[in-house]
Amino acid sequence: MSETWVAALSALGSGLLSLIGVYLANRKSSALISYRLEQLEHKVDAHNDLVTRMTAVESRLDAVDDSIKELKGLVIHAN
């Protein structure tokens, strides 16, 4: 009977230690995934900011292009 209790307690202890190990590993993995998602969100925000700035630059370029065309027209008519 004593051997049965020792085996049961040993199995219970080993199961408990395994459960603690799985919990800690899962917690660490979740923290790492959360950190990586946060870094990815920062990259997406930076990319979106770049797209917004490039759109503004393109619209200013269109205005400059129109101004150049007007100036070329004035120079041609002045000759």
Query: Mind listing the pLDDT tens digit for each residue in 24-46?
Result: 999 999 999 999 999 999 999 88
Q: Which two tokens stand for residue 27?
A: 């917690």
Distance CA 68, CA 62 (A): 10
Write phi, then psi, for 65 (nearest 5 degrees): -60, -45
The alpha carbons of the chain give a radius of gyration, in whole angstroms, of 34
* pLDDT, tens digit, 9 for 90 and up, residues 63-77: 999 889 888 887 777
Residue with tokens 């307690």: 9
Distance CA 76, CA 79 (A): 5
> Residue 48: what pLDDT?
87
Reported pTM: 0.55
Distance CA 60, CA 53 (A): 11
